[in-house]
Amino acid sequence: MSTGQGLSMRTIREVLRLGLTTELSFRDIGRSLRLSHPTVQKYIQTAKESGLTWEKAQGMTEDELDKAMKVPEAVVATGQRPMPDCAYVHQEMKKKSVTLGLLWQEYKDANPNGYQLTQFRRFYRRFVKKLKLSMRQTYKFGDKLFVDYAGHTIPIYDRVTGAVSQAQIFVAVLGASNYAYAEATADQSLASWIGSHVRTYEYMQGVAQQTICDNLKAGVTSPCRYEPDTTLAYTEMASHYGTVIMPARVRRPRDKAKVETCVQIVERWILAALRNRKFFSLSELNEAIRELLVKLNQKPFQKLDGSRESLFKGFELPALKPLPSHTYEFAEWKKARVNIDYHFEIEHAYYSAPYVLVHEELAVRYTSSIVEAFYKGKRVASHVRSTRRGHFETVNEHRPKGHQEHLEWTPSKMITYAKAIGPKTAEFVTQVLESRRFPEQGYRTCLGILRLAKSYPKQRLEAACERAMILGALAYKSVKTILQNKMDLKPLVPQGTTLKINHENIRGGDYFSNHQQN
């Protein structure tokens, strides 16, 4: 079986992690990753038959994992035909142009000895007839944590300007004990969303098997530029804590009824109690929320013995997974391409990668302290995060050493091209290359200068480079600004020359010397 059936290696790794390290059913894993039940079953069975464990899979590159997963299709024993996932079928039937015949064919492709079309249709009709029946959900201790944002916000006032910002209220509740957590955040960004999860796990002193959210975008109003990056950051956090993110189905309020009820309780018992108070910082607001949260969890049940806190300490806490040895540090992911100077850009700073990866696309993971680059699932570079705009972080081993011929450009080639424009341009390019710790760090600037020759006459570019060198501004933007503002067309003032300005309101040096003599 080839792993390249529309799934990324990243998704396959997550399927293996959940299938080989948890007791989740194939259907639950499929819901978490938005895959069909047969697809999940196929990958997990293939991994088990090939002797692949999660420990082995973790250390494999994408190519190694793809090779390990290429084994013959599993043969299901007679009489053990897999049942169709009717819930998945019903969901797919709502999509345009999808038919039962098409879904049956996909089911048979994944399960060659599965049921025939007539039986497939019969199973589905029985399922549809039962859709209107509902069963009360019973939660197990340590099984599920529900998370969401409250609809209400609380104003935060700036002491100096008086400006008002609205704090968002994050709410979490454990399914069995109803033990609650709430906090205020500045916004609903990805960093705030994941940070709230981390603080929730710490408050609960453990981690539930599943974390149920509205959907993978819940609470993230300003996600990363690329949707896969947002999903990866959330999944990485879940992997660190050993939980699985289980998004609630769209327009299925029963899936997240627990947290919606808790949100109402938090709004009534905490937010309403704070309505007449004025807060000037998030920390001040969270301190007030924490005090009322303790009272809420200790409040006795009306129809049951005990409280949220007593149920939590007596039954839920022992069932939770222990916290990992260290706290998760929020990381963002971004796609970046290695430039000809064998550096890639993250937040206006530049980091080196092996020169053989020039022009290749990397998956970059970066936190407040570190930047890591991955190529086909293998880490190829690691740097300390730079806080200086335009700074280069370069590992000497990443440089091409004696293999400059493998690069498209070299310092001598750039200077040769610059000489074709004029001596001042060549001198500017030379100074740029010599001013850098490594010549390759000046490639971007030099290429930009050479490209300006396509938009401006050579004479103007020559004059602009000369003016930039006099000003000591060895940057592409400086030359471009000179050209855009037509400063290159103005005469240069020789160094050491004093400008003399004649104006009726300016007396000049002669006035004061004559005044002293008188």
Q: What percent of the chain has pLDDT over 90?
A: 25
Is position 3 within any domain?
A: no
Least confident of 134-138, 155-159, 388-392, 505-509: 134-138
Express each pLDDT in 88-97 by its tens digit. Answer: 786 666 555 6
Residues 255 and 390 in one domain: no
Residues 341 and 459 in one domain: no
pLDDT computed for residue 75 by the predictor: 37
Residues 171 and 280 in one domain: yes
pTM: 0.56
Express each pLDDT in 31-46 by its tens digit. Answer: 888 888 888 888 888 8
Residues 369 and 449 in one domain: no
> In the predicted model, is pLDDT for residue 78 greater than 60?
no
Q: What does the CA dihedral 256, 253, 228, 207 come to, rounded to 10 degrees?
A: 10
Is position 518 within any domain?
A: no
DSSP 3-state assignment of 80?
Answer: coil
Count of structural domains, the chain: 4
Residues 191 and 93 in one domain: no
Is position 502 within any domain?
A: no
Residues 303 and 451 in one domain: no
Taking the C-alpha atoms of residue 214 and residue 190, their distance in angstroms, rounded to an integer, is 14
Least confident of 18-27, 218-227, 336-345, 410-419: 218-227
Express each pLDDT in 183-207 by its tens digit. Answer: 999 998 888 999 999 999 999 999 9
Residues 314 and 362 in one domain: no
Taking the C-alpha atoms of residue 467 and residue 462, their distance in angstroms, rounded to an integer, is 9
Residues 374 and 416 in one domain: no
Is position 439 within any domain?
A: yes
Is position 474 within any domain?
A: yes
> In the predicted model, is pLDDT for residue 513 greater than 70?
no
Q: How is residue 207 annotated by DSSP?
A: B
pLDDT computed for residue 79 by the predictor: 45
Q: What does the CA dihedral 252, 210, 225, 10 come to, rounded to 10 degrees?
A: -120
Residues 414 and 399 in one domain: no
> For residues 180 and 308, is the Cβ–Cβ distance under 8 A?
yes
Fill in the amino acid letter for 90.
H
Residues 436 and 399 in one domain: no
Is position 498 within any domain?
A: no
Residues 400 and 413 in one domain: no
Is position 136 within any domain?
A: no
> In the predicted model, is pLDDT for residue 416 greater than 70?
yes
pLDDT computed for residue 178 by the predictor: 86
Q: What percent of the chain has pLDDT over 70?
A: 79
Q: What is the 3-state secondary structure (H, E, C) of 273-340?
A: HHCCCCECCHHHHHHHHHHHHHHHHHCECCCCCCEHHHHHHHHHHHHCECCCCCCCCCCEEEEEECCC
Is position 510 within any domain?
A: no
Question: What's 277's domain CATH number?
Answer: 3.30.420.10
Taking the C-alpha atoms of residue 266 and residue 178, their distance in angstroms, rounded to an integer, is 12
More confident residue, 434 or 362: 362
Residues 198 and 278 in one domain: yes
> For residues 213 and 245, is the Cβ–Cβ distance under 8 A?
yes
For residue 109, give its domain range: 9-129
Given pLDDT bands bounded at 50, 70 and 90, which one contains residue 230?
very low
User: Within 13 Å of residue 336, how many CA atoms lie on the same side as its CB?
Assistant: 27
Taking the C-alpha atoms of residue 328 and residue 326, their distance in angstroms, rounded to an integer, is 7
Given pLDDT bands bounded at 50, 70 and 90, which one contains residue 60?
confident
